[in-house]
């Protein structure tokens, strides 16, 4: 079996290593955090390697914060000193030069495990890139099963939540491998805890941000879009895109939002075979980075040094390029999603 080879290879590259730095992508989501934890657990038990999980950026979504807290995930904020302290690095749910992980150019990772399409530049002593998995968690579950390791209940819960949150309960960009992984995890996961994570208490700022965002949302034929200015956390862009694409008769959704010195972009579609990732890479081009699957894709463009006009122009360009790719006329006039209340 292929998995067997991969597990042995992974353990082999870790031979003689004492400590490893595990990096999920920036502003990590449950898939990247749970998968990082699973790798940490696997290597500790099977290779005697201890590791630290560190991430750059913030956990913005309340779901993600409560996920990390309730499941007691030991991930710390990334510091530049981490790269001096650790001689070996593993990238999880992302790839070097993918634009969404703060890996210094001079650092070559030892391990790269991801489910996004392989970047041409991705090279490491160990790589396992499986774009036909709906979540990186699936790849790690396969290793853990191969290694015949029993899972602590909270790790099983984290991996199960990673799978269902990444795939909207196995409805989006999934294959049989994801379903097998979730079937294995299901009896071990703590479902009441998962329900709490899925429905966290939200603060007022969240509703305020949602209100402002809906006011900036428009439709063009079967596209729904929003150009948010500053957002309070970057994953709000993806969160809003998931929400907006539920509008009846909508087949595409495109949302942009600015956070610090970057523009975050999310693309969603209701077509199961639409190759959203490829489309978004075409739209963004060399301006930034993008990755994704059939139905979901995300990307970033650096905004450092741009004037307000240049930022606007960039957003105009991205929307125009998207219209062209989708065959929408450029001169369509947008319809606001919600009309302001008449006094």
* Sole window of 102-110, 135-143, 147-155, 304-312 interacting with Mn ion (rule: CB under 5 A): 135-143
Nearest distance, CB of residue 9 and Mn ion, angstroms:
22
DSSP 78: -
> Least separation, in Å, of the C-beta of 297 and Mn ion?
12
Paired tokens of 256: 């942009």
Indicate the angle between helix axes 153-166 and 191-198, nearest 10 degrees: 40
Is 114 one of the binding residues for Mn ion (CB under 5 A)? Answer: no
The interface region with Mn ion, picked from 93-101, 124-132, 177-185, 309-317 by CB under 5 A, is: 93-101
Q: Report d(CA 36, CA 75) in Å as an integer.
A: 9
* Residue span binding Mn ion (CB under 5 A) among the ranges 28-36, 68-76, 210-218, 306-314: 28-36
Total interface residues for Mn ion by CB under 5 A: 3
Name the minimum Å distance from CB 31 to Mn ion: 4
Do 46 and 14 meet the contact criterion of CB atoms below 8 Å apart? no
Q: Please identify the residue of the shown chain whose CB is closest to the bound Mn ion.
A: 31
- Provide, rounded to whole angstroms, the least separation between the CB of residue 107 and Mn ion: 22
Q: Residue 92 Cβ, how far from Mn ion at the closest point, in Å?
A: 9
Buried b (16+ CB within 10 A) or exposed e, 66-76: bbbebbebebe
Minimum distance of Mn ion from residue 114's CB (angstroms): 8
Region binding Mn ion by CB under 5 A among candidate stretches 9-17, 31-39, 95-103, 168-176: 31-39
Write each residue from 44 to 83 as x if it is in contact with Mn ion (CB under 5 A), else as -, in one continuous string: ----------------------------------------
- Interface region with Mn ion, contact rule CB under 5 A, candidates 53-61, 89-97, 117-125, 210-218: 89-97
86, 89, 94, 99 alpha-carbon torsion, rounded to 10°: 60
Smallest distance, Å, CB 256 to Mn ion? 21
Provide the minimum distance between the beta carbon of 205 and Mn ion in the complex, in angstroms, as a whole number: 26
**Residue 165 C-beta: closest distance to Mn ion, Å:** 10
What region does 292 belong to: left with phi over 0, alpha with psi -120 to 50, or beta? Answer: left
Query: Which alpha helices (DSSP H) does 48-187 contain, by range?
Result: 62-70, 81-85, 136-146, 153-166, 176-185
- For the chain, the straight-line distance linking the first and the last C-alpha, in angstroms and rounded, comes to 67
- Asked if 189 and 158 count as a contact pair (C-beta separation under 8 A), the reply is no
CB nearer to Mn ion: pick between 136 and 209: 136
Task: Point out which span in 85-93, 123-131, 276-284, 325-333 binds Mn ion (CB under 5 A).
Answer: 85-93
Pick the stretch among 26-34, 52-60, 292-300, 315-323 that binds Mn ion (CB under 5 A).
26-34
Applying CB under 5 A, among 63, 93, 128, 294 the residue interacting with Mn ion is: 93
Name which of 11 and 139 has its Cβ closer to Mn ion: 139
Of residues 139 and 255, the one with the C-beta less far from Mn ion:
139
Closest by Cα among 298, 304, 226, 214 to 259: 304
**Which of 11, 26, 28, 31 touches Mn ion (CB under 5 A)?**
31
H helices within the chain, ranges in order?
Answer: 2-13, 30-47, 62-70, 81-85, 136-146, 153-166, 176-185, 191-198, 204-215, 235-244, 276-284, 308-326
| Nearest-5° Cα angle at 200, 270 to 94 | 55
Length of the chain: 343
Distances (CA, A) of 146 to 3, 13, 80, 181, 184: 7, 17, 35, 12, 12
Binding region for Mn ion (CB under 5 A): 31, 93, 136
């Amino acid at each position: 079996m292929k998995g067997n080879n991969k597990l042995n290879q992974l353990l082999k590259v870790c031979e003689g290593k004492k400590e490893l730095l595990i990096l999920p992508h920036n502003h990590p989501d449950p898939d990247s955090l749970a998968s990082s934890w699973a790798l940490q657990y696997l290597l500790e038990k099977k290779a005697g390697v201890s590791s630290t999980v560190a991430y750059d950026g913030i956990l913005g979504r309340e779901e993600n914060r409560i996920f990390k807290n309730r499941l007691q995930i030991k991930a710390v904020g990334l510091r530049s000193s981490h790269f001096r302290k650790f001689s070996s690095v593993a990238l999880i749910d992302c790839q070097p030069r993918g634009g969404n992980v703060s890996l210094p150019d001079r650092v070559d990772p030892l391990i790269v495990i991801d489910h996004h399409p392989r970047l041409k530049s991705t090279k490491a002593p160990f790589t396992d890139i499986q774009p036909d998995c709906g979540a990186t968690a699936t790849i790690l579950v396969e290793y853990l099963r191969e290694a015949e390791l029993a899972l602590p209940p909270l790790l099983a819960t984290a991996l199960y939540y990673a799978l269902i949150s990444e795939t909207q309960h196995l409805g989006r960009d999934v294959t049989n491998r994801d379903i097998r992984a979730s079937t294995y995890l299901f009896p071990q996961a703590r479902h009441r805890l998962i329900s709490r994570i899925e429905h966290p208490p939200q603060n007022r700022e969240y509703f305020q941000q949602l209100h402002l965002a809906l006011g900036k949302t428009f439709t063009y034929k079967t596209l729904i879009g929003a150009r948010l200015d500053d957002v309070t956390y970057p994953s709000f862009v993806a969160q809003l895109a998931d929400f907006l694409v539920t509008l009846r008769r909508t087949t595409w959704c495109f949302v942009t939002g600015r956070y610090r010195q970057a523009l975050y972009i999310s693309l969603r579609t209701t077509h199961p075979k639409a190759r959203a990732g490829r489309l978004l890479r075409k739209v963004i081009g060399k301006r930034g980075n993008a990755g994704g699957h059939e139905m979901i894709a995300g990307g970033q463009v650096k905004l450092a040094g741009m004037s307000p006009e240049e930022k606007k122009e960039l957003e105009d360009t991205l929307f125009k390029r998207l219209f062209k790719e989708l065959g929408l006329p450029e001169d369509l006039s947008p319809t606001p999603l919600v009309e302001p209340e008449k006094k």
